[in-house]
Structure 1
Amino acid sequence: MIDNVLERLTTLFTEGGARFRVVHHPACGQSSQSVAEIRGTELGQGAKALCCTVKGNGVKKHVLGVLPADMQADLSKLAAAVGGRRASLASPDEVMELTGCIFGAVPPVSFHPELELICDPTLFTRYDELAFNAGGRDVSIIINTEDFHRIVHPKTADFLKAPAAEPAPGAAEK
């Protein structure tokens, strides 16, 4: 299991010369919106980390898929990005073993050799800073987006769920 997640993150970012800050705040649930409000950031700045198990095509691996908090993941696209056929969220025990964190506290960084990090490229194009929980529900890191990308250097793949189609004009009128 991974220990001292906050300490490992701050060491990684400090040694990498990142512009970041640690924000201690009241613990909140798993809602990305509520933690964004507490941090004083936009929802889309949040880096939502999903710990997944990917299977199929002879593949069985763990993946940490990271995307903007205001978007949804298409787990089949995430599976395909690593050569698998299907992906599912890891169990709470697997999440703890692979990240040292509970659900809702997982940062967008992998310290486990068997947890592959994949970020949706949209994460790096919308905001100058990213915000994420840093090992606990009561502590976050806000970091310069370019610094995060440079230091963590994640693989990237498009795995966002396509937006729902807009109904045709007048379709709801009868």
Structure 2
Amino acid sequence: MKKTKKQQSGGTPATVALTAAGTPFTLHAYEHDPAAASYGEEAAQALGVDPGQVFKTLVAEVDGALTVAVVPVSGSLDLKALASAVGGKRAAMADPAAAERTTGYVRGGISPLGQRKKLPTALDASASTYPTICVSAGRRGLEVELAPDDLAALTGAVVAPIARA
């Protein structure tokens, strides 16, 4: 029988996917403040980690197809670089409702892992400068720390310079 809502011991789809793949990771929980201006900056501060080591998951549309971009919270997404990295011509931020519906996560808690529908993914090249990075574990106030190479392998991500400082 297929596991649904609870998914193993209450994990998120992201942690379930990591566990199923046998990928080492560390889970970090913190108290999310609904008034926080930036979910990523809030996570970096709560975890006491360099904001360059905490990555946000953004959903964009490249030539009409939803695409995931994983960039440091200390920077912003370069849409032109994202389009180029995934072999497209034009990119724009996706409609938040479409991003939530397609990934199965809520805004501010979208993880690049365990998404409802596997989307093309690009990981900013700066991730390679760290032994581990943090990304959303699938809900606000929960981050997963893992090796950037593991993240790229599990998501099938292309690693390219897609962020601006």
TM (norm. structure 2) is 0.79
Matches within 5 A, 1:59-138: 60-109=64-113, 111-113=115-117, 115-123=119-127, 125-138=128-141
1:72 deviation in Å?
A: 2.0
1:63 deviation in Å?
A: 0.5
Number of residue pairs matched? Answer: 156
Q: Which residue number corresponds to residue 47 of structure 1?
A: 55
Contact 1:51 1:95 (C-alpha < 8 Å) held by counterparts = yes
Residue segments in structure 2 that go unaligned for 5+ positions in a row: none
SS in 1 for 2:105: coil
CA 1:110 to 1:119, structure 2 compared with 1: closer, same or farther past 3 Å?
farther
Residue segments in structure 1 that go unaligned for 5+ positions in a row: 164-174
Q: Which residue number corresponds to residue 171 of structure 1?
A: none
Distance of 2:24 and 2:43 partners within structure 1:
21
CA 1:110 to 1:88, structure 2 compared with 1: closer, same or farther past 3 Å?
farther
Contact 1:62 1:114 (C-alpha < 8 Å) held by counterparts = no
Q: Which residue number corresponds to residue 31 of structure 2?
A: 26
How many percent of aligned residue pairs carry the same amino acid? 24
1:113 deviation in Å?
A: 4.0
Distance of 1:119 and 1:104 partners within structure 2:
18
CA RMSD of aligned residues (A): 2.5
1:50 deviation in Å?
A: 1.0
CA 1:108 to 1:160, structure 2 compared with 1: closer, same or farther past 3 Å?
same
Query: Which residue, 137, 152, 157 being the options, matches 2:155?
Result: 152
TM (norm. structure 1) is 0.76
Distance of 1:110 and 1:77 partners within structure 2:
25
Larger Rg belongs to: 1
Aligned-partner residue type, residue 158 of structure 1? P
